[in-house]
Structure 1
Amino acid sequence: MRVVVQGLSPLIWRRILIRSHMSLATLHAALQIVFAWSDVHLHHLRIHGKEYGCARVGGPHFEDDPRHVPLGQLRLHRGERFPYVYNFIDHWVCDLRLEAVLPLDSGGHYPVCLGGKRAAPPEDCGGAWAYLQRLDRHHVPLEAMAVVARVLNRLLEADDQTTMRQVIGDRDTFREAVDQFDAYLQFQPEHVDRRDINTRLRVLSQSEGTLP
């Protein structure tokens, strides 16, 4: 199954291999994992005109318990698509497409992430437009790097008489530069850690059937 976050370019996508007996509740949990979201917002899937989701206080009511609706019961055919909506404020819409129906590998672990591109938008970032603006502003902080480089150079040239204040210079300027550089390193929109995703998916597969 290929999953694409709508409204963003370049594309953010994942390809996951799942079993037909997987419940919709587990599919929701798997999508949260592959996009590194934390399941703190409401969601729903719309399949064949019907909405499914894990009910929460203050959220919409669903006719069926998603823990008891396996994907195979929905009789999806190859190429069929359906949307998954997460966070009704930021309104992330993921397009899910069943690419193929494959024979079961009895020795395999499911679900498993086979591939993907780019990190998903972080929680509560304001939606597609706000995230695209953040990407436009995501540049190497050259001025901050220059400040840090000057401090490191003074540190290398320091002798026993040099004080730390002389090395650092203006403390507020140095702290701001470090914070800017750290924020740049923490936000890596091109990075997808498939190994971590699959580690977490394996934990999910072991807990399937105990989802709340």
Structure 2
Amino acid sequence: MRRVFKFRIELEGSNPKIWRELLVPSDITFYRLHHIIQIVMGWENYHLYEFALDSYRIGQRFEDDGFDGPHEIMDAQRIKIGNVLKTNGQKMDYIYDFGDYWQHSLILERIIEDLGLPFPVCCSGELSCPPEDVGGIPGFYDFLKIMSKPRNPEHKELKNWVRSKLVAIDGKYDPQKFHMEKVNWVLLRLDVYIEEWENEGNQQ
């Protein structure tokens, strides 16, 4: 039986907090964890990312220059999360999209011994993820203000814009709703999700 990690992930700067709790096997790579986070949060997975803990920087490497200094980015596909995270309460930063700069805190809440987990599971969460490319936390809350005021001259344009985003369900974006059933259905097909992402030319 494998160990299972219970994580809590929070989007930094969100108020009220946008968060998820999830269970994942401890022997997966950070590359796989990245895809899991994209699914549970609701991101569209077409920007760069990075995990950071103390001196560790783990993400996408595009060149191997043979040097691994203290601040060198290590390949997420080669490092398993259980080789870095060892104790309850450890915290990492997960950064997605260095333009909008979505910073998340990833907390290892619990290590569960001898639990078989055939696929990652999202246990709980609150609030919808911001739409991709909305302009970071400041842009997101500006967007919500405009969307709450139908008479705002930008309201119609933004309402049409958000319809094409992953977070829009049936063409509508509701910041209060988190669709956990949909997330867990995608997690059940995680291998297919990653394969399709790689086939679209997104792999480093």
Within 1, Cα distance between the matches of 2:73 and 2:139? 34
User: Hey, what does 2:99 align to over in structure 1?
Assistant: 89
Q: Is 1:24 equivalent to 2:47 in the alignment? A: no
Q: Retained in 1: the 8 A contact 2:12–2:104?
A: yes
The alignment partner of 2:141 has SS state of helix
- Using the TM superposition, give the Cα deviation of residue 55 of structure 1 relative to its aligned residue in structure 2, in angstroms: 3.0
* Separation in structure 2 between the aligned mates of residue 13 and residue 51 of structure 1, nearest angstrom: 23
Q: Is the 8 A contact 1:14 1:113 kept in 2?
A: yes
Q: Is the Cα–Cα contact under 8 Å of residues 44 and 86 in structure 1 kept in the other structure?
A: yes
Report the counterpart of residue 186 of structure 1 in structure 2: 172
CA distance in 2, matches of 1:92, 1:2: 16
Counterpart position of 2:134 = 125
Q: Are the aligned partners of 1:42 and 1:56 in contact in 2 as well (CA < 8 Å)?
A: no
Separation in structure 2 between the aligned mates of residue 25 and residue 9 of structure 1, nearest angstrom: 28
Alignment gaps of 5+ in structure 1? 143-175
> What amino acid does structure 2 have at the position aligned with 1:196?
K
User: Offset at 1:103?
Assistant: 2.5
Question: Contact 1:84–1:96 at 8 Å: present in 2 too?
Answer: yes
Q: Distance in 1 between matches of 2:172 and 2:78?
A: 39
Instruction: Say whether 1:9 aligns with 2:19.
Output: no
Q: Read off the aligned partner of 2:137 and give its amino acid letter.
A: A
What TM-score do the two structures reach when normalised by structure 1?
0.71
Counting matched residue pairs gives 173
Match of 1:102 in 2: 112
SS in 2 for 1:45: strand
Larger mean Cα displacement after TM superposition, 18-27 or 41-50: 41-50
What residue ranges of structure 2 are gaps of 5+ in the alignment?
A: 1-6
How big is the alpha-carbon RMSD for the aligned residues of Structure 1 and Structure 2? Answer: 3.0
- Structure 1 runs of 4+ aligned residues shifted over 2 Å read 54-57, 61-65, 103-106, 136-142, 182-185, 205-212
Return the letter of the residue paired with 1:36.
Answer: G
**Which protein has the bigger strand share?**
2
More helix by share: 1
Rg larger in 1 or in 2?
1
Q: For residues 179 and 193 of structure 2, what CA distance do their matches in structure 1 show? A: 22
Counterpart CA distance in 1 for 2:80 and 2:195 is 11
Q: Tell me, yes or no, if the aligned pair for 2:11 and 2:17 is still in contact at 8 Å.
A: yes
Residue from 76, 79, 91 that aligns with 1:66: 76
Identical amino acids, percent of aligned pairs: 26
Conservation of the 8 A alpha-carbon contact between 2:59 and 2:76: yes
The residue aligned with 1:173 is none
Counterparts of 1:193 and 1:30, CA distance in 2 = 15
